[in-house]
Amino acid sequence: MKNLAIVLLSFLMFQTVSATELFGTVDAVSGEATVTDTTGTNQRITSGLKIFTGQSIQTAADGEVQIVTEDSGLLALRPNSSFRIDRYQAKGETSDEIVFSLFKGALRSITGWIAKRNTSAYQLNTPTATIGVRGTDHETTVIDTAMENDQPGTFDTVNEGVTVLRTERGEIEVHDGEYAFAPRDQSVAPRLLAQRPGFLKHRALRIEGRIQQRKEYLRQHIQHRLEQKTEIKIHRDAAKKRIKRKLRERREP
């Protein structure tokens, strides 16, 4: 009975740790934004606040939030947005992943070293589509009602790299400077747009200008981290070889 209690306690502790994996740190905030944890507790977002897996973020009409992720990526949430971090791990292991959901509004995502090492480990979900990347800087928007010539659904544009916009009806690659759309009506496949969506022309962002500077800094940091990990792997492999050689020498007469 005692052993069973220990096992159950260990399981609960593991679940708690998994559910509170550190996702990133708020790098900048403008206007009103709140974060909600898995218990439903709300907290106003301020610069320096730690964001964890399982938490949701809501931005008000004037709210913008920029988060530096643990794998040196950058996430910029736009006004009137609802977002959740579903799964995240950045330990330098093959199981590392980043999976999040955008329910409404918009976000700009500049991927960190998780997606650069393994593009299949990155997934952004929306109500009408999923988005994968191939090392990129992209922006995704979800609108619920028609706005001028823009219909409800998921819009994705690429500033750098390539994304893959997928639905049950198919998928499409989106390259630098291209705009793609997955309609709320799931009966048709996603498609490239001939011109920039109209809603982008009317959006005013207060802290967007600082992103390029942060992007360059994080790019250098990512390269340094990847070089470190490569060096660690080389030393680890060399140590394994030395151990195997010594074991083999001991067996030999």
Question: Is 20 within 8 Å of 35 (Cβ atoms)?
Answer: no
Point out which residues pair with 66 in neighbouring strands: 28, 76
> 1-15, 29-43, 46-60, 88-102: which has the minimum mean pLDDT?
1-15
> 80-84, 123-127, 215-219: which has the minimum mean pLDDT?
215-219
- Please report the sign of the dihedral spanned by the C-alpha atoms of residue 196, residue 198, residue 199, residue 205: positive
Task: Specify the pLDDT at position 18.
Answer: 44
Residues 21-44, mean pLDDT to the nearest whole number = 97
Residues 2-31, mean pLDDT to the nearest whole number = 65
Higher-pLDDT residue of 129 and 243 is 129
Task: Specify the pLDDT at position 111.
Answer: 95
- Please report the sign of the dihedral spanned by the C-alpha atoms of residue 142, residue 146, residue 149, residue 151: positive
10: pLDDT confidence band, cut at 50, 70 and 90? very low
Phi and psi, residue 139, nearest 5°: -130, 130
Task: Specify the pLDDT at position 224.
Answer: 60
Nearest Cα neighbor of 15 from 25, 4, 23, 7 is: 7
> 82-86, 147-151, 159-163, 206-210: which has the minimum mean pLDDT?
147-151
Task: Specify the pLDDT at position 221.
Answer: 76
Is 130 a residue whose pLDDT tops 60?
yes
Residues 204-216, mean pLDDT to the nearest whole number = 91
Model pLDDT for residues 44-75, shown as the tens digit of each residue: 999 999 999 999 999 999 999 999 999 999 99
Beta strand 97-110 with 122-125 is: parallel
CA distance 84 to 209: 25
Residue type, 44: R
Is 122 a residue whose pLDDT tops 60?
yes
CA distance 30 to 60: 10
Point out which residues pair with 171 in neighbouring strands: 166
Level-2 CATH architecture, domain 22-208:
Sandwich (2.60)
